[in-house]
Amino acid sequence: RMKSVSIDPQSSVPKYSQLREILLDLIDAELAYDALIPSERELVDRYGLSRMTVRQAINHLVAEGRLYRIAGKGTFVARPKVEMPLRLTSFTEDMLARGQRPGSRDLERRVGAAGGQVAKGLGLSPGDPVHMMVRLRTADEVPMAVERSYIPVLVAPGLDDVTLTDRSLYAILEERFGIELDHGEQTIEAGIVDPDDAVLLELRPGSAVLLVERRAFAEGRPVELTVSAYRGDRYQLHVGLDAPRLPATQSPGPTRSGGDGHG
Ligand code: GLP
């Protein structure tokens, strides 16, 4: 069904919000990413809105990561957000799967003593040696995430001599150390970008990030603990949902839930 493509001045929906919807429909229907959207002037004329209202709608879409601005050039359609994978894949694999060129820059590499939290996460004793690395991850040269990883030295001795610039950590673990990660766990929460990370990620101070903490294991041994800050304007998380198990309606009496081996 065609949506109305004009602004309804009677509506209780604010005008900038109506324009936002119109622009979203336009993006979906006819604009590819990196396409230039109509100028503020054109939108003002086409929809009979004030310049301020038009700017407000565009600002929202920029903040949501749907549009981006280039000074002096105009406003463009952003790429769709990256779906945060829910499998034990590497950043390199994820970007290649999207047809983008993965990049990695070593910001910090050292061997140090595991602090309490890191030791706990990796099944070590505090003070045990760990490789610590901070990496900036890029996709087609655009900064996407800052990742802080810890790997027990015992698991990958000599990893500190290997450059990770534009390389995949997981590929190196596999090729050089024969480590095949077989399962992992991940916690994702909302966060505000750390001031130093903001500069690296080209975000304004106070921007949203997705904080992802991953532990990855091989044969039951923790291999990696990584805390990543992913750009909130570039990532989203989508999950399928199962309905909760309905109580068995046919059989009155207690439901067959606990203690029957289902987990
Ligand atoms: C993702 C995970 C990290 C992991 C990385 C490995 O970004 N969040 O925990 O260390 O992938 O990626 P790569 O093999 O490309 O270095």
Residue 248: per-residue pLDDT: 63
> How far, in Å, CA of 202 to CA of 46, rounded?
33
According to DSSP H, which parts of the chain are helical? 15-30, 40-47, 51-63, 91-97, 116-122, 169-177, 195-201
Res. 255: pLDDT tops 60? no
Please report, rounded to a whole number, the percentage of residues in the chain having pLDDT higher than 90. 79
Q: Measure 89 CA to ligand 1 centroid, in angstroms.
A: 7
Please give the average per-residue pLDDT across 22-46, as a whole number: 94
Residue nearest atom 5 in ligand 1 by C-alpha distance? 90
Residue 236, beta-bridge partner list? 83
Res. 91: pLDDT tops 50? yes
Least confident of 57-61, 110-114, 142-146, 253-257: 253-257
Residue 61: per-residue pLDDT: 94
Residue nearest atom 6 in ligand 1 by C-alpha distance? 90
Please give the average per-residue pLDDT across 50-77, as a whole number: 93
Q: Measure 168 CA to ligand 1 centroid, in angstroms.
A: 7
Res. 86: pLDDT tops 60? yes
Residue 105, beta-bridge partner list? 136
Instruction: Look up residue 70 and give its amino acid.
Output: I
Q: Measure 37 CA to ligand 1 centroid, in angstroms.
A: 35
Q: What is the pLDDT of residues 173-228, one digit of tens each?
A: 999 999 999 999 999 999 999 999 999 999 989 999 999 999 999 999 999 999 99
Which is nearest to 148 in space by CA: 169, 162, 167?
Answer: 169
Q: What atom of ligand 1 comes closest to residue 137's alpha carbon?
A: 7
Res. 243: pLDDT tops 80? yes
Residue 2: per-residue pLDDT: 41
Q: Measure 118 CA to ligand 1 centroid, in angstroms.
A: 17
Q: Measure 93 CA to ligand 1 centroid, in angstroms.
A: 9
Pocket test for ligand 1, best of 98, 150, 170 (most atoms within 8 A of CB): 170
Please give the average per-residue pLDDT across 127-148, as a whole number: 97
Full-model pTM: 0.79
101 compared with 4, residue with greater pLDDT: 101
Under DSSP, is residue 81 helix (H, G, I), strand (E, B) or coil? coil
Q: What atom of ligand 1 comes closest to residue 214's alpha carbon?
A: 9
Res. 236: pLDDT tops 90? no
Residue 233: per-residue pLDDT: 87
Please give the average per-residue pLDDT across 236-246, as a whole number: 83
> How far, in Å, CA of 176 to CA of 188, rounded?
30
Please give the mean pLDDT across all residues of the chain: 91
Residue 4: per-residue pLDDT: 52
Residues with CB under 6 Å of ligand 1 are 90-92, 147, 149, 168-171, 212, 214, 224, 226, 228
Burial 241-250 (b: 16+ CB within 10 A, else e): eeeeeeeeee
Residue 254: per-residue pLDDT: 52
Pocket test for ligand 1, best of 214, 224, 225, 227 (most atoms within 8 A of CB): 214
263 compared with 128, residue with greater pLDDT: 128
Instruction: Look up residue 163 and give its amino acid.
Output: T
Please give the average per-residue pLDDT across 2-25, as a whole number: 88
Residue nearest atom 10 in ligand 1 by C-alpha distance? 226
